[in-house]
Chain A
Amino acid sequence: MRNWRFKEIVVMAALSVVFAVVYLAFLPAGKLLVGLFGPIGYDLIFGIWFIVSIIAAYIIRKPGAAFLSETIAAMVEVMIGNATGPMLLIAGMIQGIGAEAAFAATKWKNYATWVLMAAGVGSAITSFTYGYFMSGYAVLSTNYVIAMFITRMVSGALIAGLLGKALSDGLAQTGVLSSFALGKAHQKRNAA
């Protein structure tokens, strides 16, 4: 955390707060999909719950951004007083670790589209492993569990990875990120 500027921490926290609200807003949508398709319903849109990791890491580009932002978002969700309580905090940290692992694999140097998608998949893998033990997926039939897992990974890559990138790039175009890593990268590209 030493090389983090305080500005970056507060911006990361603000992003986490915004997405904590988004996460909560998507819970009823998830429940509706579960009602329609069974447990796999959540996995269809599970990527939305990883998105702040990808956005924060892509904008700030420092070790820990993916993990911390997801943890803070989960904490805010708990503080607002909805969702699944303290367990959610652990779930958030585990999702964050998955995304962080993908960025760590590139030594926090590469923020190409495929890395962002890999981060989404990373979150899907860790969160699914956690869900497998905590939510008792073990009682579901194996084929169904595999289908859930694949759906969640695709959702992570598309919703968290691609949508997260699109949102961040949109933000960079407005110029608010001019003092952050992503904004600087954009300026460099525009100047060239």
Chain B
Amino acid sequence: MFLHRLNPSIKAITIALIVVLLAFIFDPITPFIFLIGTIAITFIFGNVEWKKYILYFIPFSILSFGMLWTTIAFSTPSNNPNDVITLLGMTFPRASFLTALALSLRILSVAALSLLFIFTTNVVDFILSLIQQLKLPPKIAYGVLAGYRFLPMMKDELVIIHQAHRIRGINTAHTIKDKWHQYKRFAIPLLASAIRKAERTAIAMESKGFTGDKNRTFYRHFSIVKRDWLFPFMMLLLFSLAVLTSLKLGYI
């Protein structure tokens, strides 16, 4: 699938660029069209499970809805209070309603862009591409990759600390106050073990010849081919179309 084979650096830069462009948009039509377009692109050019997609999309919808009502509730009074929109039996000032709608649709557009990236990109590929295309120092990149590997171990570590505490006679927390104390007791051992592991990993890597030198060889090569430029072109085209449509409809 096109999106999966796309160079990860190109994908990330394009998305970042679009996110910045979206920040200058304060009308509801542009982000709406863009949102639909992005979701369509995700499913046409990527192999994404729609059930998983919806599951990930829900939190953003809640966030977006929160943004909608707080912006309406806390916005400055508009200049012409008679210009109102009636919706579900409630009246809102037209200007602040449209801005609120624009902001919440912007959140959803950005969410769709992030999901496009997350669902079609392998983390290790992304970091390797950052080293090879964007000249990220290998020392940092491999440090991050090593740190990222600790993520799944952390859950096991929590279980171990919990059991170690129990064996020493600390009962399972039930009340919120107990839970709070429990987290306080967990924090230091968890961090300490993460630091110990990191230190050991670093020493192991260095003893096996890792110097962080920029002139290193790679097992997996990433390059930018002509086809990769199709993605930024497609996304910018979609964005321009959205802006033009909104302009035609007189919302900007």
In the assembled complex, which residues on chain A have CB atoms less than 8 Å from the CB atom of B197?
Answer: 14
Given known A-B contacts A6-B210, A35-B66, A18 and B194 have beta carbons under 8 A apart: yes
B117 x A39 contact (CB < 8 A): no
In the assembled complex, which residues on chain B have CB atoms less than 8 Å from the CB atom of A29?
Answer: none
Q: Which of B141-149, B167-175, B222-230 is the interface stretch?
A: B141-149
Whether A105 is near chain B, meaning CB under 8 Å from some CB there, is no
Contact with A along B197-222 (1 / 0, CB 8 A): 11101110110001010000000000
Whether B48 is near chain A, meaning CB under 8 Å from some CB there, is no
B111 x A84 contact (CB < 8 A): yes
| Distance (whole angstroms) from the CB of A181 to the closest CB of chain B | 13
In the assembled complex, which residues on chain A have CB atoms less than 8 Å from the CB atom of B188?
Answer: 167, 170-171, 174
**Interface majority SS on A: helix, strand, loop or mixed?**
helix
Given known A-B contacts A9-B143, A141-B74, A171-B188, A85 and B195 have beta carbons under 8 A apart: no
B66 x A86 contact (CB < 8 A): no
Given known A-B contacts A11-B202, A136-B103, A86 and B15 have beta carbons under 8 A apart: yes
| Distance (whole angstroms) from the CB of A165 to the closest CB of chain B | 14
In the assembled complex, which residues on chain A have CB atoms less than 8 Å from the CB atom of B118?
Answer: 78-79, 81, 85
Whether B252 is near chain A, meaning CB under 8 Å from some CB there, is no
Interchain CB contact (< 8 A) of A31 among B62, B110, B212: B62
In the assembled complex, which residues on chain A have CB atoms less than 8 Å from the CB atom of B26?
Answer: 136
Whether A177 is near chain B, meaning CB under 8 Å from some CB there, is yes
Instruction: Indicate the size class of the contact surface on chain B.
Output: 35 or more
Q: Which of A68-76, A151-159, A184-192 is the interface stretch?
A: A68-76
A72 x B75 contact (CB < 8 A): no
In the assembled complex, which residues on chain B have CB atoms less than 8 Å from the CB atom of A80?
Answer: 151
CA distance A133 to B26 in the complex (A): 11
A38 x B70 contact (CB < 8 A): yes
Whether B139 is near chain A, meaning CB under 8 Å from some CB there, is yes
Which residues A9-54 have CB closer than 8 A to chain B?
9-18, 21, 31, 34-35, 38-39
B151 x A21 contact (CB < 8 A): yes
Task: Give the most central of A6, A31, A68, A167: most B CB within 10 Å.
Answer: A6
Whether B249 is near chain A, meaning CB under 8 Å from some CB there, is no
CA distance A89 to B16 in the complex (A): 9
B56 x A81 contact (CB < 8 A): yes
Residue tally, chain A, CB below 8 Å to B: 52
CA distance A123 to B16 in the complex (A): 22
Interchain CB contact (< 8 A) of A10 among B15, B154, B202: B202
| Closest residue of A by beta carbon distance from B67 | A135
In the assembled complex, which residues on chain B have CB atoms less than 8 Å from the CB atom of A39?
Answer: 70, 74
Given known A-B contacts A86-B12, A87-B110, A134-B23, A72 and B144 have beta carbons under 8 A apart: yes
A86 x B70 contact (CB < 8 A): no
Whether A90 is near chain B, meaning CB under 8 Å from some CB there, is yes
CA distance A166 to B12 in the complex (A): 37
| Closest residue of A by beta carbon distance from B113 | A85
Contact with B along A158-177 (1 / 0, CB 8 A): 00000000010011001011
Which residues B101-123 have CB closer than 8 A to chain A?
103, 107, 110-111, 113-115, 117-118, 123
| Closest residue of A by beta carbon distance from B188 | A170
A85 x B210 contact (CB < 8 A): no
Whether B41 is near chain A, meaning CB under 8 Å from some CB there, is no
| Distance (whole angstroms) from the CB of A82 to the closest CB of chain B | 7
Interface positions of B (Cβ within 8 A of A): 12, 15-16, 19, 23, 26, 56, 59, 62-63, 66-67, 70-71, 73-76, 96, 99-100, 103, 107, 110-111, 113-115, 117-118, 123, 126, 137, 139-140, 143-144, 146-148, 150-151, 154, 187-188, 190-192, 194-199, 201-203, 205-206, 210, 212
Which 10 pairs between the two chains have the least Cβ-Cβ distance? A85-B114, A13-B147, A9-B143, A14-B198, A10-B202, A7-B202, A11-B198, A81-B118, A10-B198, A14-B147
Interface positions of A (Cβ within 8 A of B): 1, 4-7, 9-18, 21, 31, 34-35, 38-39, 68, 72, 75-76, 78-82, 84-87, 89-90, 133-136, 139-142, 144, 167, 170-171, 174, 176-177, 179
Contacts A9-B202, A85-B15 known; list 4 others, CB within 8 Å. A1-B140, A10-B146, A38-B70, A68-B140
